[in-house]
Amino acid sequence: MQKTSIKKRVTLKDVANAVGVHVSTVSRALDPRTRHLITPEVAEQILKASERLDYRQNAAAYSLKTNRTRTIGVVVPDITNPVFPPIIRGVEDALASRGYVAILGNTDGDMRRETGLVETFRSRGVDGLILASVEREDAAVSKLAAEGLPVITVNRRVDDSTVASVVNDEAEGIRRVLTHLVSLGHRRVANIAGPQSLSTGAARYAGFEKYRGPMGLADDRGLVVFANAFNEAEGERCVEELLASGAEFTAIVCSNDRLAVGAIAALSRHGRRCPEDVSVTGYNDMPMVERMQPPLTTIRIQSNKVGFEAGQLLVQMIERPPGEYVAEHIVLPIELIVRGSTRAIHAPNGQDGDTAKPRVRPL
Amino acid sequence: MQKTSIKKRVTLKDVANAVGVHVSTVSRALDPRTRHLITPEVAEQILKASERLDYRQNAAAYSLKTNRTRTIGVVVPDITNPVFPPIIRGVEDALASRGYVAILGNTDGDMRRETGLVETFRSRGVDGLILASVEREDAAVSKLAAEGLPVITVNRRVDDSTVASVVNDEAEGIRRVLTHLVSLGHRRVANIAGPQSLSTGAARYAGFEKYRGPMGLADDRGLVVFANAFNEAEGERCVEELLASGAEFTAIVCSNDRLAVGAIAALSRHGRRCPEDVSVTGYNDMPMVERMQPPLTTIRIQSNKVGFEAGQLLVQMIERPPGEYVAEHIVLPIELIVRGSTRAIHAPNGQDGDTAKPRVRPL
DNA sequence: CTGTTAGCGCTTTCAT
DNA sequence: ATGAAAGCGCTAACAG
């Protein structure tokens, strides 16, 4: 019946005409917050008509008028890095439930691209920004926040505590890993630390330095080596460096899973088996690491939740009267996941254990 | 100097005032396509001023006027599924280079959510849609295309060839896998087929049926079992089913990597080692499958390129005079990646091989 | 309770 | 080559 080949979009005016009222009446009836201003019967009719005509608000007109787009910009280093999709998914779920959508951009870790993306997003009038790509020093981001644009960093944070954030409890994650290793009898534990320009890398390394002494671990400088990026290649390089330095260790704490994957590969290339010869731990519990050989002992972060909380918090910031909020900082708990890549020192199998003081036999 | 705490956004009018010309002149000077209408010197001044004042076009106003948003909607089943991020990344790269951005939505395979998302996106006036979530029968999608909204499916397609698509050469992928298996001496090859409601599942299964006879493989019905979803759990279930049926096979062709991962897990649970007892192949070459034990032999699709081509093609469709295009269908070549999960039947190691007719010894 | 009016910032005829 | 003016669809005073 109503076969319209090239259908023009139906507007408020169309609905108004259909019902025989003024556009503004329709506008009010359609907005739940102002619906009470309208006679219930009329409102009813309007709702019905708008349904029947398949009316949908013109987002551009709404934005132009209200200066709000219900769109938020999400910036990640690279969506292809398995750490980020669950976070993004969490963000989108939170946003969708509140009628917002996300536009996404990748920086590949290039801070100039971050700046460019933020520009693009602002030009599109995003109501807020979620940044997973920040470095600890990020003047541009602080400025955004200062200018009153709702901004929140996720998974990472900037040093400037003026910028809201949702992150994981990094120090606690490292503490758990170390506790686990100590309980397995390890005393010489190396650390492949992540980039110190990122809050994750810095916080995990800080945790390592903070706890290793008190826990009775050797605290040689030579047991720490810094990766320049959170990837497999750097994990391999760092193991090479560790091995070349002649440092002695029975376990390696890696600042994330990808470093750990690289580390295990490099170890095996040098005839050092994991976990028989050296235990290795990761961080993040990204997809598939439970299927690796050996399955990786790691810290599980609540990726989806981190994103979800960030999305929720950002919407709150947006919808609160301007300047009414202080930057919140949410820290989510983590979980230790023990798998096959760690085992008691020189013991035949790698059961989770509180093996009090395992015998330490020389080779 | 120009410290403005709560800075209003600068508009065309601001630039016009600064230069002492009319807004329309500024508008023309700023658009490369109309710049030639303006005296070069004036244009120069305007460009400078707009730079200096940090003018950025108001996307909402532009959209309202032109009915174009430079935004495209991307719908995927779940961004958390490792197959999709590279595709999305490709799409975004293509779009970004043309000044477009993507808004993203997840359906979790629920067709009603797909419909809802498409609604939301249309309400936001997207210029086009890229769908990675379609089933083969999808009346809603055909309708969209018929209504003149540029739509393109990626990775999957709908049966209705009216809808443009960018996909992988599924039949060829299966042919390569079978050729490889045959060269290793396998004659009884099972197939864990994907959901037949999806073009990928259907095309790969069709390839299997098409080639296995001509290649001299056993073509028992009992060697095929259908998964209800592309995930690990279904891979496990299908292997159980295969095993329970008493079917004999020395290899399993899985319709994607996740099915393969599940299949290998289930096999090992039943004391059948891969590749010693049965060879297994996947499809997609998703991240990390090269780190599994055993590393997975699979078909590598050009995920990033699939997305990139789709993005490019969509922009072309959008920017071409309406109704001027026919639905294109791009098919991208694939690549066989041989790893450890396949080996010559009953041979000691799994080198890639044209082992003509390997000896077949009974157990 | 509902209609009138103005205007968000931009592009695009139409004049000049 | 530039200015004037209209209008995209919507919301939000302000009147009645």
How do beta strands B335-337 and B298-300 pair? Answer: antiparallel
Which nucleotides of chain C does any protein CB come within 7 A of? 1-5, 7-13
* Helix, coil or strand: residue A160: coil
Residue A218 has pLDDT above 80, yes or no: yes
Give the nearest nucleotide to A43, CA to C1': C1
The pLDDT-based confidence of A103 (bands split at 50, 70, 90) is very high
Q: Do A105 and B96 touch (CB under 8 A)?
A: yes
Distance from C-alpha of A60 to C-alpha of A57, rounded to nearest angstrom: 9
More confident site: B174 or B109: B174
Q: Do A291 and B287 touch (CB under 8 A)?
A: no
How do beta strands A279-281 and A251-254 pair? Answer: parallel
Asked if residues A113 and A135 have their Cβ atoms less than 8 Å apart, the reply is: no
Taking C1' of D7 and every protein CA, the nearest residue is: B65
pLDDT the model gives residue A348: 43
The pLDDT-based confidence of B353 (bands split at 50, 70, 90) is very low
DSSP structure string for A71-95 = EEEEEES-TTSTTHHHHHHHHHHHH
pLDDT the model gives residue A159: 97
In tens, the pLDDT along B85-98 reads 999 999 999 999 99
The pLDDT-based confidence of B321 (bands split at 50, 70, 90) is low
Which nucleotides of chain D does any protein CB come within 7 A of? 1-5, 7-13
The structure tokens 């010559």 sit at B344
The pLDDT-based confidence of B358 (bands split at 50, 70, 90) is very low
Averaged pLDDT, A187-194: 98
Residue B177 has pLDDT above 60, yes or no: yes
pLDDT the model gives residue A79: 96
* Helix, coil or strand: residue A8: coil
pLDDT the model gives residue B326: 83
Distance from C-alpha of B36 to C-alpha of B273, rounded to nearest angstrom: 71
pLDDT the model gives residue B144: 87
Token pair, residue A203, equals 């916080």
Roughly what angle, to the nearest 10 degrees, separates helices B12-19 and B40-52?
A: 120
More confident site: B344 or A144: B344
Provide, as residue numbers in chain B, all residues whose Cβ is less than 8 Å from the Cβ of A307. none
Residue A360 has pLDDT above 50, yes or no: no
pLDDT the model gives residue A238: 98
Give the nearest nucleotide to B19, CA to C1': D2
Spell out a b/e string for A218-246, using b for 16 or more CB atoms within 10 Å of the CB, else e. beeeebbbbbebbbbebbbbbbbebeeee
The overall average pLDDT reported for chain B is 90
Domains of chain B from N-terminus onward: 12-57 (1.10.260), 65-168+303-332 (3.40.50.2300), 170-301 (3.40.50.2300)
User: Chain A closest CA to B43's CA: distance in Å?
Assistant: 22
Give the nearest nucleotide to A31, CA to C1': D11
- Up-side HSE of residue B294: CA atoms within 13 Å toward CB? 25
| Interface contact B110, partner A, CB < 8 A | no
Residue B351 has pLDDT above 50, yes or no: no
Residue A4 has pLDDT above 50, yes or no: no
The pLDDT-based confidence of B147 (bands split at 50, 70, 90) is confident
The pLDDT-based confidence of B7 (bands split at 50, 70, 90) is low
Angle ∠(A235,A236,A241) on CA atoms, nearest 5? 100
Q: What percent of chain A has pLDDT over 90?
A: 80
pLDDT the model gives residue B324: 67
pLDDT the model gives residue A91: 97
When scoring B12, B115, B123 by the number of chain A Cβ atoms within 10 A, the one with the most, hence best to mutate, is B123
Total residues found in chain B within this entry: 363
Averaged pLDDT, B121-136: 94
Task: Say which of A71, A265, A293 has its CB closest to residue B293.
Answer: A293
Which of the residue ranges A333-342, B114-123, B186-195, B197-206 would you say has the lowest mean pLDDT?
A: B114-123
The pLDDT-based confidence of B352 (bands split at 50, 70, 90) is very low
Q: Give just the sign of the alpha carbon dihedral B77, B81, B82, B85.
A: positive
In tens, the pLDDT along A292-309 reads 889 999 999 999 999 999
Residue B3 has pLDDT above 50, yes or no: no
The structure tokens 């499809």 sit at B283
Give the nearest nucleotide to A22, CA to C1': C3
Tell me, rounded to whole angstroms, the distance of Cα B271 from its chain centroid.
Answer: 35
The overall average pLDDT reported for chain A is 90
pLDDT the model gives residue A361: 39
The answer for residues whose C-beta is within 8 angstroms of residue B287's C-beta and 6 or more apart is A80, A82, A288, B82
Find the closest chain A residue to B60 by CA distance. A60
| Interface contact B118, partner A, CB < 8 A | no
Task: Say which of A92, A122, A292 has its CB closest to residue B106.
Answer: A92
pLDDT the model gives residue A358: 42
pLDDT the model gives residue B349: 42
Distance from C-alpha of B313 to C-alpha of B164, rounded to nearest angstrom: 9
How do beta strands A329-332 and A128-131 pair? Answer: unpaired
Provide, as residue numbers in chain B, all residues whose Cβ is less than 8 Å from the Cβ of A82. 82, 85, 287-288
Averaged pLDDT, A74-84: 95
pLDDT the model gives residue B322: 63
Residue B361 has pLDDT above 60, yes or no: no
In tens, the pLDDT along B194-234 reads 999 999 999 999 999 999 999 999 999 999 999 999 999 99
Residue B333 has pLDDT above 90, yes or no: yes
User: Chain A closest CA to B165's CA: distance in Å?
Assistant: 22
Residue A352 has pLDDT above 50, yes or no: no
In tens, the pLDDT along A225-270 reads 999 999 999 999 999 999 999 999 999 999 999 999 999 999 999 9
User: Chain A closest CA to B81's CA: distance in Å?
Assistant: 8
| Helix, strand and coil percent figures for chain A, each rounded to 5 | 40, 15, 45
Angle ∠(B224,B226,B232) on CA atoms, nearest 5? 115
When scoring B101, B115, B117, B231 by the number of chain A Cβ atoms within 10 A, the one with the most, hence best to mutate, is B101
Task: Say which of A93, A104, A120 has its CB closest to residue B102.
Answer: A104
Asked if residues B131 and B166 have their Cβ atoms less than 8 Å apart, the reply is: no
Round and report the angstrom distance from CA (A24) to C1' (D15).
14
Find the closest chain B residue to A264 by CA distance. B291
